[in-house]
Amino acid sequence: MKVDGNSIRPGNVIEHNGGLWRAIKIAHTQPGKGGAYLQVELKNLRDGTKLNERFRSSEKVTRAQLEQKDYQYLYQDEMFNFMDTVSYEQIAISPDDIGDDAVFLQDGMMVTIEFHEESPLGVSLPEKVVLEVLETEPVVKGQTAANSYKPAVTDNGLRVMVPPFITVGTKIVVTTLEREYVSRAD
Instruction: Specify the CATH number for the domain of residue 111.
Output: 2.40.50.140
Secondary structure class of 48 (helix, strand, coil): coil
Residue type, 108: G
Domain count for the chain: 3
- Same domain for 31 and 52? yes
As a whole number of angstroms, the distance between CA 96 and CA 88 comes to: 24
- Same domain for 77 and 59? no
As a whole number of angstroms, the distance between CA 130 and CA 182 comes to: 10
Range of the domain at 53: 2-63
Pairing of strands 90-93, 119-124: unpaired
- Same domain for 57 and 7? yes
- Same domain for 9 and 53? yes
Q: Are 5 and 42 a contacting pair, CB within 8 Å?
A: no
Give the residue from 63, 89, 113 where a domain finishes: 63
As a whole number of angstroms, the distance between CA 53 and CA 31 comes to: 16
Give the residue from 96, 124, 152 where a domain finishes: 124
Give the residue from 124, 147, 166 where a domain finishes: 124
Q: Does position 173 have pLDDT exceeding 90, yes or no?
A: yes
- Same domain for 72 and 58? no
Instruction: Specify the CATH number for the domain of residue 42.
Output: 2.30.30.30
pLDDT greater at residue 176 or residue 186: 176
Predicted pLDDT of residue 153: 93
Cα dihedral 83, 81, 20, 3, rounded to 10, equals: 30
Q: Are 81 and 74 a contacting pair, CB within 8 Å?
A: yes
pTM of this structure: 0.70
- Same domain for 31 and 75? no
Predicted pLDDT of residue 24: 84
**End-to-end alpha carbon distance in the chain:** 44
- Same domain for 95 and 78? yes
pLDDT digits (tens, 9 = 90+) for 120-147: 877 888 899 999 999 988 876 665 556 7
- Concatenating the DSSP letter of every residue in 94-125 gives -HHHHGGGGGG--TT-EEEEEEETTEEEEEEP
pLDDT digits (tens, 9 = 90+) for 72-114: 999 999 999 999 989 999 999 888 777 788 888 888 999 998 8
Please compute the mean of the pLDDT values over residues 43-51 and round it to a whole number.
82
